[in-house]
C-alpha cells in the first residue's frame, strides 16, 4: 500500500439488502482487492469496519477508514435527531 499520503482505497456503496435500514460499503483497493466492509453494527450503535481475512493496512488506509467512519456516524446521528424532532413536533 505504500507509505505516502496518496489515496489507496475507495468505498463502494453496495445495494441495500431487503429489510436493511442502513447502507453497506465495500472497501476496495485501486486494483479491486476487497479489504472489508463498512456497515452499521447494532450492538455498537454505530458504523464499524469489518476487515477481510489476510489483509494488510497502512497508516494512511486507517486514516481514510477513520474519516469515513466519523462521516457516516455523524450523518447517522444527525438523521436520528431529525427523526426524533419530527416525532415530538406532531
In tens, the pLDDT along 13-24 reads 999 989 999 999
SS3 (DSSP) at 74: helix
User: What SS3 state is found at 62?
Assistant: helix
DSSP code of residue 60: H
**What is the DSSP code string of 46-80?**
EEEEEEPTT----HHHHHHHHHHHHHHHHHHHHHH
Domain extent listing, the chain: 9-88
The pTM (predicted TM-score) of the whole model is 0.83
Helix (H) or strand (E) holding 2: none
What tens digit of pLDDT does each residue of 31-67 get? Answer: 999 999 999 999 999 999 999 999 999 899 999 999 9
Cα distances from 44 to residues 31, 36, 72, in angstroms, run 31, 18, 14
Amino acid at each position: 500500500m505504500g507509505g505516502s499520503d496518496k489515496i489507496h482505497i475507495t468505498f463502494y456503496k453496495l445495494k441495500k439488502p431487503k429489510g436493511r435500514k442502513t447502507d453497506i460499503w465495500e472497501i476496495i483497493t485501486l486494483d479491486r482487492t476487497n479489504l472489508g466492509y463498512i456497515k452499521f453494527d447494532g450492538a455498537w450503535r454505530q458504523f464499524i469496519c469489518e476487515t477481510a481475512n489476510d489483509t494488510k493496512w497502512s497508516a494512511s488506509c486507517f486514516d481514510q477508514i477513520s474519516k469515513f467512519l466519523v462521516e457516516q456516524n455523524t450523518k447517522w446521528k444527525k438523521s436520528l435527531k431529525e427523526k426524533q424532532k419530527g416525532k415530538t413536533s406532531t
